[in-house]
DNA sequence: CGCAGGCCCTGGTAGC
DNA sequence: TGCTACCAGGGCCTGC
């Protein structure tokens, strides 16, 4: 559920509250919350204590906090992860996985994650990226995103266009919600072969992805329930603007035809059957 | 190498 | 009421 706009809202909150502060105590309450960290939870905590956070950065749906040690705290929210800023002594949240207290005795940072698809690790900060996220492509809101390279790569793929949009090594930050919204905007079916897109069509799709990500970010993100929240526990309101995603049987805002929900990659895809008709030669 | 599919996980809800 | 089945879905991993 947290895609680029939601993760960016979290990044801004963590940056505001945590950058410049020194870690005093780390409590790991669930071993699964620490992922791909060589020394496990114990080492994770040990290497963080005494370190100062120098920034909060994001690539796609990943966050990382460079530290004064030259390492970085890398995090992914998965499906249900939250980073919350709360007063010390606040009772433990039901799915509290890790807790960070700071030397100034101020607000704590907490990682809460119901489904435990998210995770944290400490990794060498590297340049420009920690090694664990070097395979993640730039996102369309990144000033250095290469539009021409994306269009070319998309048209080289031999897959359905929605699969391509969800491939974080091609373009990052896009998940099921914003893929469906962007495809609806440019009237493309999710199974349209990516190689069959003309260059202008691929450019229009990229523009739609940018628009929908930007609008959602301006709205503070999308939320259907209390799972996705900013660091203060508040939800965004972009869900009121969704045209296709989650709108099964509701009228298409463009033509009134009921939006259809279909199985896609063991999940769901939403489209307007009239605006986004099936391609002759689908690629799933 | 590129691509497809399985799996991880918990809570809410629909249906019987 | 209480049980089961299903759904939410990002990314790692494996196999073809």
* Protein CA A249 to sugar C1' B14 (Å): 17
DSSP annotation of A129 reads: S
Q: Is the CB of A221 under 7 A from strand C?
A: no
Domain borders along chain A are 4-133, 147-271
Active site residue A2: yes
Give residue A284's pLDDT.
81
How far apart (Å, rounded) are the C-alpha atoms in residues A117 and A115? Answer: 6
How far apart (Å, rounded) are the C-alpha atoms in residues A43 and A64? Answer: 18
Residue that is written with structure tokens 């045209």 in the block: A243
First-last CA distance in chain A: 22
DSSP A33-87: GB-S-TTHHHHHHHHHTT-BB---EEETTEEEEEBTTSEEEEEE-TTTEEEEEE-
User: Is the domain defined by A4-133 classed in CATH 3.40.190.10?
Assistant: no
Active site residue A162: no
Active site residue A267: yes
Q: Kindly name the residue from A35, A57, A59, A61 that is annotated as catalytic.
A: A61
* Protein CA A246 to sugar C1' B15 (Å): 21
Please name the residue whose C-alpha is nearest to the C1' of nucleotide B6.
A266
Beta partners for residue A193, in sequence order: A160
Beta partners for residue A143, in sequence order: none
Number of C-beta neighbours around residue A282 at 10 A:
12
Q: Which nucleotide is nearest to A156 (CA to C1')?
A: B2
* CATH numeric code, A147-271: 1.10.8.50
pLDDT in tens, chain A (284 residues): 689 999 999 999 999 999 999 999 999 999 889 998 888 899 999 999 999 999 999 999 999 999 999 999 999 999 899 999 999 999 999 999 999 999 999 999 999 999 899 999 999 888 889 999 999 999 999 999 999 999 999 999 999 999 999 999 999 999 999 999 999 999 999 999 999 999 999 999 999 999 999 999 998 877 655 556 677 677 777 777 899 999 999 999 999 999 999 999 988 999 999 999 999 888 88
Q: Which nucleotides of B are covered by protein (CB under 7 A)?
A: 2-11
Please name the residue whose C-alpha is nearest to the C1' of nucleotide B10.
A115
* Protein CA A52 to sugar C1' B5 (Å): 42
Number of C-beta neighbours around residue A8 at 10 A:
22
Q: Kindly name the residue from A3, A8, A108, A181 that is annotated as catalytic.
A: A3
pTM attached to this predicted model = 0.95
Give residue A283's pLDDT.
86
Active site residue A3: yes
Q: Kindly name the residue from A240, A267, A280, A281 that is annotated as catalytic.
A: A267
């Amino acid at each position: 559920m947290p895609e680029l706009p939601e993760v960016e809202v979290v990044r801004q909150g963590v940056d505001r509250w945590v950058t410049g502060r020194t870690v005093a105590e780390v409590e790991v309450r669930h071993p699964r919350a620490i992922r791909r960290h060589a020394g496990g939870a114990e080492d994770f905590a040990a290497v963080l204590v005494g370190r100062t956070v120098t920034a909060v950065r994001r690539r796609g749906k990943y966050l990382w906090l460079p530290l004064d040690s030259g390492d970085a705290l890398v995090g992914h929210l998965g499906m249900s992860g939250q980073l919350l800023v709360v007063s010390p002594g606040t009772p433990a949240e039901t799915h509290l996985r890790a807790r960070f207290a700071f030397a100034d005795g101020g607000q704590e940072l907490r990682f809460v994650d119901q489904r435990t698809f998210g995770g944290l690790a400490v990794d060498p900060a590297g340049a420009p990226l920690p090694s664990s996220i070097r395979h993640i492509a730039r996102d369309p809101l990144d000033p250095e995103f290469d539009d021409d390279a994306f269009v070319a790569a998309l048209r080289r793929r031999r897959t359905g266009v929605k699969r391509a949009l969800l491939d974080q090594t091609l373009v990052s930050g896009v998940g099921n919600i914003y893929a469906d919204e962007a495809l609806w905007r440019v009237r493309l079916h999710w199974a349209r072969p990516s190689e069959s897109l003309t260059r202008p069509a691929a450019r229009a799709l990229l523009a739609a992805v940018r628009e929908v990500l930007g609008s959602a970010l301006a709205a503070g993100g999308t939320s259907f329930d209390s799972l996705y929240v900013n660091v203060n526990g508040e939800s965004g309101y972009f869900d009121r603007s969704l045209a296709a995603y989650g709108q099964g049987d509701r009228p298409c805002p463009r033509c009134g035809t009921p939006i259809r929900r279909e199985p896609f990659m063991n999940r769901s895809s939403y489209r307007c059957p009239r605006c986004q008709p099936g391609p002759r030669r689908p690629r799933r």
